[in-house]
Structure 1
Amino acid sequence: MPSRFVLLACVFFSFFCFSKPLKIEIVSDYNPSYGESPGDLATQLLLIIARNLNNEMAIEFVPASREREWRELKHHENVCLYNKVRTPERETMALFVSLPLMAFPSNRLILRNKKFVSIEVTLKKALSMGLRIGVTKGRSYGLEIDDFINANTDRLFIGEGNDSAFRLRQMLVQGRLDGIIEYSSVFVTDFPSEDVLKDISFHAIGDTKATIFGYIACSDSKVGRKAVDLFERTLQKRKIQDLIIEAHANLFLPQEEVFISNSLKTAFSIND
């Protein structure tokens, strides 16, 4: 009888332990302590996915700059980041979910009062014109652009801090920069005024991919692997995939929308 009691107690204890939600820290620039709903789609989608994990994961947002995000992930076993571009360098320090959370048209070179520049231009050519171009420290713009930035840091204006991307957009509008590397839709959302846009031109950057995906990345640890498996399983659900594709509708300029939708369907292996 005592042995049966011990066995039952062990089974109950094991069930209790394994039924506890996995505790994950989401390090990002979103701070829920302000009591505001997230304005960006990536955070909204992440929260929807977290709710669909059926209490298997408990997430807590930890505010940090883009640069600090990766330091936190490297030094702690229970950290996840989201909406991150997958690069060979990042894959050496993090475990990535294989299915995307977000999709974007490739970054554009956005210029002010430089409409003489051709509609597609390489960054090398832009710098050879003497243009002062701003980029955000710690942000990945895609493999090709990242490589160019790393090789030409001294010729670019490097913005730092949590809101550096927004400040760069402001500096462009104020004429303190000639150009920035940014998504066209992000810029238009911040500055929809025709007065501003009449001086702005959007240029495709030569030698870059047409679509960039944003993924969830977690600590390279046992806890991180469990988190990746849970996110992966949820993103494999057709209802979640449909929701993500729907959420991208009207998010970008009309000429880019169809391509984004098709790219997501391909990533999710949706054929209908």
Structure 2
Amino acid sequence: MTLLLLCLALPLIARAGEPLTWLVRDLPPLTIESGPREGQGAVDRLLPLLMQALPHYDHSVVRVNRARATQMLTEPALSCDPTLLWTAERSQTVVYSIPVFATLTNGLIIRRQDRHGFNTFIHHDELDLPAVLASPNIKIGRVAERSYGSTIDNILAQAPEGAVSAHHGNDAVASLLQMQQRGRLDGVLGYWPEVLYLAPQEQIDSADLMFVPVRGVPRYQPVYIACSNTPAGRAVVDRLNPVLAGLRSTTLPVFYAQWLDAASRDDYLRDSRRFFEEMAQH
């Protein structure tokens, strides 16, 4: 009888698989947690393809903020974050996939009415961010523990105390934009497509905002999948890399490009293939 029960249970055991938790947060246009286009972000559309490529795992999706995701990636349980930038510090505690997306980089979002206050810091349409942060009269907002790319991260690390206000909440960017509208912040670091999506939901006219690129920051940056730095996490990345190599040259650029304006979309689709080719040469 015991043997019969064991045999009947075997299919259920085979189907169970190892639990794999995907850590996501509201990061339009990659992941969209609410609103009229909920679940239609570029990474939202990627996740089912990743799960399909990993059929022997028991997948779950958990929505957490950046700080909690960072913590969970260092815990023993197997978890992966599909929207992570590479940093030297993170590479010590997580295992990265090959680059998945090329996304537009971060910059400073300001209100058009405040443009005159930044004139002395903008040269050739690029912002001198260190000089801005050194100014005692300007307050900048950021999301706590979010990487803004190596150039901006290094600048932030050297910023004077009190120059930057870090927000830890789940709706951090939306909250920072509201603080900016109330005059508590002069600028918000972020992705322009993300702000364009969030502004109308916060009853903010995006035409009243402008994006200023930061000097020394390239136009595009790679986004990776990062998993727990364990044998199980490394096995997931090894299985995903061949799949991602194919998707990033065909399917994934279209997922991201749909969120850009017509001119940027054409440039992006042309540039994205060259972006990965150039990365492979370095």
TM-score (norm 1): 0.80
Q: Specify every segment of 5 or more residues in structure 2 that has no aligned partner in the other structure, as ranges.
A: 1-9
Residues 26 and 167 from structure 1, CA distance in 2 versus in 1: closer, same or farther, beyond 3 angstroms? same
Supply the distance in 1 between the matched residues of 2:270 and 2:91 (Cα, whole angstroms).
26
Supply the distance in 1 between the matched residues of 2:56 and 2:267 (Cα, whole angstroms).
34
SS at match of 2:183: coil
Alpha-carbon deviation of 1:189? 1.8
Residues 195 and 183 from structure 1, CA distance in 2 versus in 1: closer, same or farther, beyond 3 angstroms? closer
Partner of 1:24: 20
**How many residues are paired up?**
253
Partner of 2:48: 47
Kindly indicate whether the alpha-carbon contact (under 8 Å) linking 2:102 and 2:275 is maintained by their aligned counterparts in 1: no
**In the alignment, which of 185, 196, 203 is matched to residue 188 of structure 1?**
196
Kindly indicate whether the alpha-carbon contact (under 8 Å) linking 1:218 and 1:225 is maintained by their aligned counterparts in 2: yes
Post-superposition Cα deviations, 1:127-177, rounded to whole Å, max 9, x if no partner, equal 344221100101010011111212225311111121112211222233331
Partner of 2:108: 109
Residues 192 and 64 from structure 1, CA distance in 2 versus in 1: closer, same or farther, beyond 3 angstroms? closer
Partner of 1:159: 167
Mean Cα deviation higher: 166-175 or 188-197: 188-197
Q: In the alignment, is residue 56 of structure 1 matched against residue 63 of structure 2?
A: no
Residues 120 and 54 from structure 1, CA distance in 2 versus in 1: closer, same or farther, beyond 3 angstroms? closer
Structure 1 residues 96-245: aligned runs within 5 Å? 96-100=96-100, 102-112=101-111, 113-116=113-116, 117=119, 118=122, 119-129=125-135, 130-152=137-159, 154-192=162-200, 196-237=205-246, 241-245=249-253
Kindly indicate whether the alpha-carbon contact (under 8 Å) linking 2:99 and 2:223 is maintained by their aligned counterparts in 1: no
Alpha-carbon deviation of 1:122? 1.5
Supply the distance in 1 between the matched residues of 2:129 and 2:16 (Cα, whole angstroms).
50
Partner of 1:4: none
Alpha-carbon deviation of 1:87? 1.1
Supply the distance in 2 between the matched residues of 1:183 and 1:65 (Cα, whole angstroms).
17
Supply the distance in 2 between the matched residues of 1:123 and 1:217 (Cα, whole angstroms).
29
Residues 37 and 203 from structure 1, CA distance in 2 versus in 1: closer, same or farther, beyond 3 angstroms? closer
Supply the distance in 1 between the matched residues of 2:145 and 2:267 (Cα, whole angstroms).
28
SS at match of 2:53: coil
Which amino acid in structure 2 is aligned with residue 151 of structure 1? Answer: Q
Kindly indicate whether the alpha-carbon contact (under 8 Å) linking 1:211 and 1:260 is maintained by their aligned counterparts in 2: no
Alpha-carbon deviation of 1:17? 8.2
Alpha-carbon deviation of 1:199? 3.3
Alpha-carbon deviation of 1:20? 6.4
Supply the distance in 2 between the matched residues of 1:241 and 1:16 (Cα, whole angstroms).
37
Structure 1 residues 58-97: aligned runs within 5 Å? 58-97=58-97
SS at match of 1:80: strand
Which amino acid in structure 1 is aligned with residue 96 of structure 2? Answer: F
Residues 21 and 142 from structure 1, CA distance in 2 versus in 1: closer, same or farther, beyond 3 angstroms? same
Q: Specify every segment of 5 or more residues in structure 1 that has no aligned partner in the other structure, as ranges.
A: 1-12
CA RMSD of aligned residues (A): 3.2
TM-score (norm 2): 0.78
Supply the distance in 2 between the matched residues of 1:204 and 1:81 (Cα, whole angstroms).
26
SS at match of 2:114: coil
Supply the distance in 2 between the matched residues of 1:252 and 1:172 (Cα, whole angstroms).
24
Post-superposition Cα deviations, 1:95-128, rounded to whole Å, max 9, x if no partner, equal 100131x322111211122223333112122234
Mean Cα deviation higher: 137-146 or 19-28: 19-28
Residues 250 and 16 from structure 1, CA distance in 2 versus in 1: closer, same or farther, beyond 3 angstroms? closer
Identity of aligned residues (%): 21
